[in-house]
């Protein structure tokens, strides 16, 4: 493995991070498990950053990809594409957005980039509201609206970005408030912010922040924000790249936890819908989607082979009620993790919803982030046969647990036990 690691370092940029002191090469997977080049099996509780949504090597998806590859792999959006139209029809119907149009991309970054293009063109403004601690991608425009310093390598941006309170419930100036007072304070902050600017194009927000450490506001915050935004004509973009497709268990989309707001003006998605294939996209009502007055296509967005994968994956998800499974097994898993963390001084908070669970680590008896502890637990979990992720707005001190949505009760128990052992080693 060291030979491949040396080759990696010789040709891949330094800023392309690798997990683990001794990085592993994952060679194949099945169900909720993967194997490395040494033949060791791991229970996968991260799914390639929440991307292997249903299962590794899901027969329905691999069959659809194989059959489509045998017909045609690529044509571009310049030609009619039956799989793309069929998947767009299904996603439009599921989105909750009236008279919806769907544009496919190859990633969440590109989806958010396209959403920003639509919002700024529609509103004739380059001002964007974003949430503190947010992450929306690695392109020039999406880095410019990312409120997480660890993932924002430049302050240069084509956009003027203003950051709003509210996405992190247990930190910041309003952390000690009740949920109701917290929402009121965040709305007051938003009102004050808008009093010092004008012609804002949109608010972009993750219903649960992904890279930010699975942090979330109280349910209803974005409904309260929406009432303010509507008065000013400002669009709401819901970044569902990590929260979409039922992962949160209670809802199919993260925005539905703020249901009084109704559907967003623009919704972005990616990751899990392709189950590993490169699929992302934007949903917006026709008035907004059709506002561009110049030509635009996508060479690779909506390719026949990725659309075939998305159709098969979405069908499997709905037919097997994986949202319900995320709610049931995720509820069991988070309670098991909370019990395991009880009495561990380094654990500040266990939070999450469905199969999207964060464990924030701090120096004992303080609020100071402890990224070294998070790195140590990541290593120990790997030694125990469990793959997890990490993130957070405070020096990546939050462990991220996000298994495929087909996780079984037995696997949840097994993974929680492995994680407990790793945490106890602190």
Residue ranges of the chain that CATH labels 3.90.1150.10: 2-57+321-424
Was domain 2-57+321-424 assigned CATH 3.90.1150.10?
yes
What does the pLDDT read at residue 414?
98
What does the pLDDT read at residue 88?
98
What does the pLDDT read at residue 1?
62
What does the pLDDT read at residue 260?
81
What does the pLDDT read at residue 329?
98
What does the pLDDT read at residue 395?
74
What does the pLDDT read at residue 154?
87
Residue ranges of the chain that CATH labels 3.40.640.10: 62-319
The model carries a pTM of 0.96
Answer CATH for 62-319 from 3.40.1280.10, 3.40.50.300, 3.40.640.10, 3.40.50.2300 = 3.40.640.10
What does the pLDDT read at residue 339?
96
3-state secondary structure the chain: CHHHHHHHHHHCCCCCCCCCCCCCCEEEEEECEEEECCCCEEEECCHHHHCCCCCECCHHHHHHHHHHHHHCCCCCCCCCCHHHHHHHHHHHHHHCCCCEEEEEECCHHHHHHHHHHHHHHHHCCCEEEEECCCCCCCCHHHHCCCCCHHHCCCCCCCCEEEEECCCCCCCCCCCCCCHHHHHHHHHHHHHHHHCCCCCEEEEEECCCECCCCCECCCCCHHHHHHHHHHHHCCEEEEECCCCCCCCCCCCCCHHHHHHHHCCCCEEEECHHHHECECCEEEEEEHHHHCCCCCCCCCCCCCCHHHHHHHHHHHHHHHHCCHHHHHHHHHHHHHHHHHHHHCCCCCEEEEEECCCCEEEEEECCCCCCECHHHHHHHHHHHHHHCEECEEECCCCCCEEEECCCCCCCHHHHHHHHHHHHHHHHCC
What does the pLDDT read at residue 156?
86
Q: What is the mean pLDDT of each run of 10 residues along the chain (426 residues)?
A: 91 95 97 97 97 98 98 96 98 98 98 98 98 95 91 89 96 96 98 94 98 96 97 98 98 93 95 97 98 94 98 98 98 97 94 98 93 97 98 88 98 98 92
């Amino acid at each position: 493995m060291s030979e491949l690691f040396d080759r990696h370092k010789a040709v891949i940029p330094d800023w392309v991070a690798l997990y683990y002191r001794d990085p592993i090469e994952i060679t194949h997977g099945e169900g909720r498990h993967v194997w490395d080049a040494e033949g060791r099996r791991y229970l996968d509780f991260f799914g390639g950053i929440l991307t292997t949504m249903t299962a590794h090597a899901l027969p329905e998806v691999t069959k659809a990809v194989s059959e489509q590859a045998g017909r045609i792999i690529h044509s571009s959006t310049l030609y009619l594409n039956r799989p793309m139209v069929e998947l767009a029809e299904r996603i439009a119907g599921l989105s909750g957005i009236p008279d919806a149009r769907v544009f496919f991309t190859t990633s969440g970054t590109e989806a958010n980039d396209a959403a920003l293009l639509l919002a700024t063109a529609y509103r004739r403004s380059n001002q964007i509201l974003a949430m503190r601690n947010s992450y929306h991608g690695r392109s020039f425009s999406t880095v410019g609206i990312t409120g997480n310093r660890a993932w924002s390598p430049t302050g240069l941006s084509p956009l003027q970005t203003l950051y709003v309170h509210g996405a992190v419930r247990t930190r910041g100036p309003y952390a000690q408030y009740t949920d109701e007072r917290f929402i009121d304070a965040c709305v007051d902050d938003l009102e004050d912010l808008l009093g010092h600017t004008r012609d804002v194009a949109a608010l972009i927000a993750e219903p649960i922040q992904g890279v930010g450490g699975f942090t979330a506001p109280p349910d209803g915050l974005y409904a309260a924000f929406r009432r303010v935004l509507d008065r000013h004509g400002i669009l709401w973009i819901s970044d569902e790249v990590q929260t979409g497709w039922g992962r949160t268990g209670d809802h199919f989309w993260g925005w539905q936890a703020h249901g009084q707001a109704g559907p967003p003006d623009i919704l972005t998605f990616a990751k899990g819908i392709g189950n590993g294939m490169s699929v992302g996209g934007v949903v917006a009502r026709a008035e907004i989607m059709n506002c561009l007055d110049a030509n635009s296509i996508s060479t690779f967005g909506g390719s026949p082979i990725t659309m075939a994968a998305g159709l098969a994956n979405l069908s499997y998800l709905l037919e097997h009620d994986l949202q319900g499974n995320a709610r049931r097994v995720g509820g069991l898993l988070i309670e098991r993790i909370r019990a395991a963390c009880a009495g561990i001084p380094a654990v500040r908070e266990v939070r999450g919803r469905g199969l999207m669970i964060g464990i924030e680590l701090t120096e004992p008896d303080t609020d100071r982030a402890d990224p070294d502890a998070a790195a140590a637990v990541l290593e120990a979990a790997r030694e125990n046969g469990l793959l997890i992720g990490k993130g957070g707005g405070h020096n990546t001190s939050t462990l991220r647990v996000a298994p495929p949505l087909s996780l079984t009760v037995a696997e949840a128990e097994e993974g929680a036990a492995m994680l407990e052992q790793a945490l106890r080693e602190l």
